[in-house]
Structure 1
């Protein structure tokens, strides 16, 4: 499902203006992104949480040159679904 499809689905259910929905979704994503960058966990009850996670330095392999290389320590964005969300997915088969 694309962002456009989500906006259309929300618009159909709520009968709100698509432009307002798009602006709201854009702002929500911006807030989640900025909070995650600032090392704040963003939690939605019944859905899950967004946070950043530290990946340790490791030895990787450049398959084109077949040589080992060091992959530096870095942060990655993560999403952890809530227990309720996991159970819904599990029950859906």
Structure 2
């Protein structure tokens, strides 16, 4: 499912216009991004939790040359699914 299909699904099930559904989805994504940027977490009960974790610096290899390269430390977003989502998938 892509963004357009998700907007169509939201509009149909929430009985709102596609424009309103698009704005709602953009607001949700924006809120998650801004919270994660501040190192916060977003928990949606029954769905899961979005959080930021630190990835340590490490040594990698260039696949073409095999040369060792240094990979900088980074903050990466993570998603941990909730129990209800896991149960729905299984």
- Asked whether the two chains share a fold, i.e. TM above 0.5, the reply is yes
Q: CA RMSD in A?
A: 1.0
- Corresponding residue for residue 85 of structure 1: 85
Structure 1 length-normalised TM? 0.90
- Corresponding residue for residue 39 of structure 1: 39
Q: Secondary structure at the match of 2:32?
A: helix
Q: Secondary structure at the match of 2:30?
A: helix
Q: Secondary structure at the match of 1:28?
A: helix
Distance in 2 (CA, whole Å) between partners of 1:7 and 1:70 is 41
* Runs (5+) with no aligned partner, structure 2: none
1:20-77 deviation per Cα after TM superposition (whole angstroms, max 9, x unaligned):
1101110110010010010111000000011111001111001112111111111111
Moved over 3 A (4+): none
Measure how far apart 1:14 and its partner are.
2.5
Distance in 1 (CA, whole Å) between partners of 2:15 and 2:32 is 25
Q: Secondary structure at the match of 2:39?
A: coil
